[in-house]
Amino acid sequence: MPERNVGGPGVRGRQAARGSQDRPPIAPAEGPRPVAASLPEVARRIGGEGAVELAAVRAAWPAVVGEAAAAHAWPKSLVTGVLTVATDHHAWATELRLLSAELLERLRPVSPSVHVFAVVVSPGEGPDW
């Protein structure tokens, strides 16, 4: 038995057209953009401010501080330009505090979206990632 189209031949087309009117059109000048370009804004909207930037810092961390220090210190958070670094021992915290100005310089080329203005270092628990 053949299927019956109870809504008529154009129902699906009208429904699809109606649904597209709910969304604002993309301006021709904008066009599509990479998903990665939207991630910082999306993270900010859902309360994850600095999450994308922190991921970039974490990826570059061994190159920024060196392998030995990276084994004992890790970026914990990055909020409004303040990078919080935790260490597994107070000696490493002291060392990184003394190097904080140099760390700021080394963090500049990490990513254009990463803006670190201050580094706060404290002894803490192991990395949470």
| pLDDT at residue number 104 | 92
B/e letters for 29-49, b = 16+ CB within 10 Å, e = fewer, are eeeeeeeeeebbeebeeeeeb
- Tens-place pLDDT, residues 54-73: 888 999 999 999 999 999 99
Contact of 84 with 76, CB cutoff 8 Å: yes
pTM of the entire structure?
0.63
Q: Which fold has domain 37-123?
A: GMP Synthetase; Chain A, domain 3 (3.30.300)
Domains of the chain by residue range: 37-123
Region 27-48 average pLDDT? 69
| pLDDT at residue number 96 | 95
